[in-house]
Amino acid sequence: MARDGGVSCLRSSETMRVGIGGMESPPLDLDDVHVLAVDDSLVDRIVIERLLRITSCKVTAVDSGWRALEFLGLDNEKASAELDRLKVDLIITDYCMPGMTGYELLKKIKESSSFRQVPVVIMSSENVLTRIDRCLEEGAEDFLLKPVKLADVKRLRSSLTRDVKLSNANKRKLPEDSVPVNTSLPPPPSPFTISPDSSDSSPPSTISPESSDSSPPLSPVEIFSSPLSSLLDDEDDDVLPSSPESSPAPEESPVRRQKMGSPGLD
């Protein structure tokens, strides 16, 4: 168990698998869910790490928003080829952290073109509705009340598996020289713009692996991942947003995705 305050990766091989350091990446394991966990408390970091690993996630745990941005490559302007391989399927962060709060981290992630589609879950020990609302408005997928339980993480995990499988199936069809994903380059003209007048456009949610032969190349991170639960539709009462009963059926997710806008537009 790593005890330092920095990045704690329980298995360095997992870090290498996400291609940091320019190593040749092994074939993508389609069932791999890679989670970036952010929490300034060591105890909480160890617990969340264990919760995630026990639900078959690969985990990278860091102790601050700055380290998270560093890990994601969002702390500098340099284009990096390695980022093509950086696969983060979920970011789960504590809200109250010194320096950069989870909310500020959420905003920075949602501002980045590389990672804005990655679901971000906020954890907090305080059940403050205005805080929850603010995070959801900023694009957080879910809000978990601490202490986090196994059932919470299992629920997150099962939502993710389906979406990672979908998006990974699309990744397999990518040509070798797919569009770069670095934020410093202007966004490439997206052949897959969601526009009403596009005659052959189909809603992103209905992409199935079999039909992607004829689909335009997708940037590795411009994947359409379903939100974990459509909290925007929930009634705002005292019930925690993270309660399983409030999660809508997956079919509702296309509405949410189109709200987020297409990658090529800002």
**Applying CB under 8 A, what is the total number of residues that bind another protein?**
18
Choose the stretch contacting another protein; rule: CB under 8 A; options: 40-48, 56-64, 74-82, 168-176: 40-48
User: Nearest approach, Cβ of 151 to another protein (angstroms)?
Assistant: 9
Ramachandran assignment for 69, one of left (phi > 0), alpha (psi -120 to 50 degrees), beta (any other) = alpha
d(CA 205, CA 92): 24
User: Nearest approach, Cβ of 131 to another protein (angstroms)?
Assistant: 15
Query: Residue 144 pairs with which residues in a beta bridge?
Result: 123
User: Nearest approach, Cβ of 53 to another protein (angstroms)?
Assistant: 9
User: SS3 helix, strand, coil % of the chain, rounded to 5?
Assistant: 35, 10, 55
Nearer to another protein, 47 or 260 (CB): 47
Tokens encoding 173: 């069809």
Q: Which of 9, 36, 38, 51 is in the footprint of another protein by CB under 8 A? A: 51
Positions in 141-160 near another protein (CB under 8 A): 146-150
User: Nearest approach, Cβ of 147 to another protein (angstroms)?
Assistant: 5
Nearer to another protein, 98 or 196 (CB): 98
Sheet containing 90-94, strands listed edge to edge, beginning at the edge strand earlier in sequence: 57-62, 33-38, 90-94, 120-124, 142-145
| DSSP three-state, residue 47 | helix
Length of the chain: 266
d(CA 248, CA 252): 7
Asked whether position 162 contacts another protein by CB under 8 A, the answer is no
Please, are residues 37 and 52 in contact by the beta-carbon 8 Å criterion? Answer: yes
Nearer to another protein, 41 or 258 (CB): 41
Q: What are the backbone dihedrals phi and psi of residue 62, each rounded to the nearest 5 degrees, phi first? A: -125, 165
Asked whether position 43 contacts another protein by CB under 8 A, the answer is yes
Quote the distance between the C-alpha of residue 87 and its chain's center.
9
Choose the stretch contacting another protein; rule: CB under 8 A; options: 39-47, 77-85, 158-166, 198-206: 39-47
Nearer to another protein, 6 or 26 (CB): 6
Nearer to another protein, 145 or 260 (CB): 145
Asked whether position 1 contacts another protein by CB under 8 A, the answer is yes
Asked whether position 47 contacts another protein by CB under 8 A, the answer is yes
Give the amino acid at 119. Answer: P
Nearer to another protein, 11 or 165 (CB): 11
Dihedral angle computed from the Cα positions of residues 226, 232, 233 and 236, in that order, rounded to the nearest 10 degrees:
140
> Pattern of binders to another protein over 108-147, x per CB under 8 A?
-----------------x--------------------xx
Tokens encoding 60: 């990278």
Q: Which of 23, 54, 81, 265 is in the footprint of another protein by CB under 8 A? A: 54
The contact set with another protein (CB under 8 A) reads: 1, 3, 41-44, 46-47, 50-51, 54, 96, 125, 146-150
